[in-house]
Structure 1
Amino acid sequence: MKIGVCGTGRMGSAIAQRLMAIGHEVGVWNRNQAKTKSLTKAGARAFPTPAALVEGCDAVFVMLLNDAASEAVYRGPDGILAGKLSGKLVIDMSTVRPDTMQAIGASVGRHGATFVESPVGGSVGPAIEGKLFALVGGEKGDVARAMPVLEQLCRRIEHVGALGAGATVKLAINLPLLVYWQALGESLTICKSLNLPPDRLIDILSDTAGTPTAMKGRGAVIAKVLAGEPLGPTAFGLSAAKKDLATAVQCARTLHAELPVATSALACFEEAEAAGLGDADATAISSHWPQRQTVSKS
């Protein structure tokens, strides 16, 4: 099957790698063409525009950073909606506002294509292994059409409702985890005077009821950073995490709801980003906060 990947950042690239590994003919597009080079060297075909990508493929996965990028890539002069969409399948895995998914999906549908939203849980590793968690929104028949290829990328697929529902649940899933990384940094701050070895302290904190599953993979990395070692590769960038928190807060406002804890965490992520940690893994905020407290007192 000819499958396009529109947006080849960390996650988009990982999805493209997975699709190639299982035998699909993969096309790619990214605003910064340099980010497609490793994929084209591995056998993917680069397309000059999003419109050309959808025209040259049977199905297209879209993985974009935020709402502004989505609007530009879909509605721009050479965007997805400028291509010949009739009969195509568009699966959008971006994490954006629910109303953005609804508006884009309606536009794609008017052009004769099938549109399904499928924001995913999981980072680069699970994407390459085909072990993502898909949170799907769309009409039942459209979702059924998308299922065969989604099953090749995901360990679990949940159809949670109409367009916009997938985006809503994805924001709900990310919110407590991102708040946890900040809360962990605060836990480490009040333990700092004990001078416990970082690996031991992380091990203690990890063996408790309040620890998320993500600590199994990231706890050892955080301990190493606390011990002075480099941050290492990024699985889920801090700037992307900040964007997700901001989007959740914006979504809540449209529902006339308040998210005081998420709003406070968002301010901490914004501060960490301003300190130069935007490209680091989101878990960097856990080690940043104790260090930041030390600097503040000096």
Structure 2
Amino acid sequence: MKIGVCGTGRMGSAIAQRMMAVGHDIAVWNRNPAKTKPLVDAGAKLFASPAELVEGCDVVIVMLLNDAATEAVYRAPDGILKAKLSGKLMIDMSTIRPDSMKSNGGPVLQQGAGFVECPVGGSTAPAREGKLLGLVGGSNADVARAMPILEQLCRRIEHVGDLGAGSMMKLAVNLPLLVYWQALGEALTICKPLNLPPDRLIDILTDTSGAPAAMKGRGPVIARVLGGAPLGETAFGLNAATKDLACAVQFGASLHAELPVTASALACYEEAEAAGLGDADATAVSTRWSRRQGNA
């Protein structure tokens, strides 16, 4: 099957790699064409616009950073909505506000294409291994059509409702973990007087009921950074985490729901991003906070 991947950042590239590994014919488009080079070198076909990508493929997976990016890519003069969409299948895996997902998907459906949202839990390594958590919204018919592809990307797939429901669930999934990374930084701050070696400190904090599963993988990295090592590989960018928290706060406000802990964490992530850590892993918010002036 010819599958297009629209957006080849960290996650989009990992998804394209997975699709290539299981035997699909892959085509790609990205606003910065340089980011497609490793995929093109591996055999993917590069298209010049989102509209051309859609018309040249049977299925297109969209993986873009934020609401503004999806708005631009769907509605540009050469964007997705300018393509001949009838009969195509679009699978949007971006993490954006539910209202944005609905406003993007509605016109696609009106033109006779299938449209499924599937924002995912997991970072680049699970994406390459086909072990993501898929949170799906869409009609039963469209989801059934997308399922063979989703099963190659996800270890678990949950169809949680109509279009927009997957985005709601994804914001809920990300929120506690991102708040935890800030809380961890605060915990590290009050542990400073102990003068424990970083690896021992992180090992203790990991072996508690309050630690998320992600600490098993990211804890050793955090310990190394606390010990003076440079920031490691980015699995989930701090800029993406900031965006997700902002989406959660905005969506909560639309429901007249207060999210005070999330809003406080968002301010801390925004501070870290302003300090130049946007491209670092989201866990950099933890190590930065423990070293922040005023936390000595």
TM bucket by the smaller chain? over 0.9
Q: Deviations over 1:89-114 (max 9, x none)?
A: 00000000001111111110111100
Report what 2:81 is aligned to: 81
Report what 1:189 is aligned to: 189
Matched residues in 1 for 2:61 and 2:295: separation?
48
Matched residues in 1 for 2:265 and 2:126: separation?
26
Q: Is the 8 A contact 2:289 2:295 kept in 1?
A: no
Q: Following superposition of structure 1 onto structure 2, how do residues 79-228 of structure 1 map, counting pairs within 5 Å?
A: 79-228=79-228
Matched residues in 2 for 1:23 and 1:147: separation?
16
TM-score of the superposed pair, with normalisation by structure 2: 0.99
Matched residues in 1 for 2:230 and 2:295: separation?
24
Q: Following superposition of structure 1 onto structure 2, how do residues 258-269 of structure 1 map, counting pairs within 5 Å?
A: 258-269=258-269
Q: Deviations over 1:107-159 (max 9, x none)?
A: 10111100000000000000000000000000011100000010001000000
Report what 1:4 is aligned to: 4
Matched residues in 2 for 1:100 and 1:187: separation?
36
Matched residues in 1 for 2:76 and 2:295: separation?
49
Matched residues in 2 for 1:66 and 1:214: separation?
23
Matched residues in 2 for 1:270 and 1:290: separation?
16
- The code of the aligned residue for 2:112 comes to G
Q: CA deviation at 1:264?
A: 0.1
Report what 2:68 is aligned to: 68
Q: CA deviation at 1:296?
A: 3.0
Structure 1 residues 193 and 15: alpha-carbon distance in aligned structure 2, compared to 1, 3 A threshold? same
SS of residue in 2 equivalent to 1:228: coil
Matched residues in 1 for 2:111 and 2:233: separation?
40
Q: Is the 8 A contact 2:189 2:295 kept in 1?
A: no
Q: Following superposition of structure 1 onto structure 2, how do residues 213-252 of structure 1 map, counting pairs within 5 Å?
A: 213-252=213-252
Q: After the TM superposition, which segments of 4 or more aligned residues of structure 1 sit over 6 Å from their partners?
A: none
Matched residues in 1 for 2:145 and 2:264: separation?
41
For structure 1, which runs of at least 5 residues remain unmatched after alignment? Answer: none
Q: CA deviation at 1:297?
A: 6.5
Structure 1 residues 96 and 297: alpha-carbon distance in aligned structure 2, compared to 1, 3 A threshold? closer
SS of residue in 1 equivalent to 2:40: helix
Matched residues in 2 for 1:66 and 1:22: separation?
28
Report what 2:15 is aligned to: 15
Matched residues in 1 for 2:254 and 2:266: separation?
18
Q: CA deviation at 1:232?
A: 1.0
SS of residue in 2 equivalent to 1:100: helix
Aligned length in residues: 296
- The code of the aligned residue for 2:268 comes to C
Report what 1:278 is aligned to: 278
Q: Deviations over 1:233-290 (max 9, x none)?
A: 1000001000000000000010011100000000000000011110000001110001
Matched residues in 2 for 1:62 and 1:203: separation?
38
Matched residues in 1 for 2:109 and 2:138: separation?
11
Is 1:288 the counterpart of 2:293? The answer is no
Matched residues in 2 for 1:150 and 1:253: separation?
31
Q: Is the 8 A contact 2:93 2:118 kept in 1?
A: yes
